[in-house]
Amino acid sequence: MMEIRKFTFNPVAVNTYVIWDETGECAIIDAGCSNPSEEAALAGFIEEKGLKPVKLLNTHGHFDHVIGNGFAARKWDLEVEMHQGDDALVSSAKEQGGMFGIAMHQPPKPAKFFDEGDEITFGNTTLEVIHVPGHSPGGVAFHNAEERVLIAGDILFYGSIGRTDLPGGEHESLISGIKSKLVVLDPATKVFSGHGPETTIGDEIKNNPFLQ
């Protein structure tokens, strides 16, 4: 059975997720830790639970979601995986952070790329990649149909959607992708977003003003 632990890190309040199952293997999604205390919180939890990180995944390449990739990659000898559409965003991540007044080290380049429909496996867990550009060119969500879980990154939020005014953003593409790929999922699917609280697909269909 899949378990999820959320951490909220860095000045932009990014949700970092650790996902694991009964095998003890785990994936770290959107490593947002930006200082030693946040790094210690992430590492301490993983060590306390006796987990073995085997995947370092990103929903997209904006600086606030990749700021902790260098730490996680070094700490657990992991390679960064994301959609190739956001490779250029990672290259400019340090510059992006500076524009928001956040100093950071340049994160490592992605070593592996996934695409729409790919399956990411660790332990007994499988996550299907759903590509929804619009917030960023390579933005993805990770879906587990059996557990009815969606790690949505900055695509879909509680009562909102990802901003589209940053470089590479495109409002129509984001709305189209959400409507064609996400709202068709089981309404009971729990949505874990890149910022803010959890929600469900059913609640967003009913209440999200961007989807009406």
What are the structural domain ranges in the chain? 3-211
Distance from C-alpha of 13 to C-alpha of 30, rounded to nearest angstrom? 12
pLDDT at 43: 98
Q: Average pLDDT by consecutive 10-residue portion of the chain (212 residues)?
A: 97 98 98 97 98 98 97 98 96 90 93 97 98 98 98 98 91 97 98 98 97 92
Q: Exposed e or buried b for every residue in 101-124, given b needs 16+ CB within 10 A?
A: ebebeebbebeeebeeeeebebbe
- Name the pTM for this structure: 0.97
Fold classification of 3-211 is Metallo-beta-lactamase; Chain A (3.60.15)
If you ran DSSP here, which 8-state letter would residue 108 be given?
P
pLDDT at 114: 98
- Asked if residue 87 lies in contact with residue 138, where contact means CB atoms within 8 angstroms, the answer is yes
Q: What are the helix and strand counts (H, E) for the chain? A: 7, 14
pLDDT at 167: 79
Distance from C-alpha of 186 to C-alpha of 101, rounded to nearest angstrom? 40
- Strand arrangement, sheet containing 119-122: 119-122, 125-131, 140-144, 149-153, 190-193, 199-200
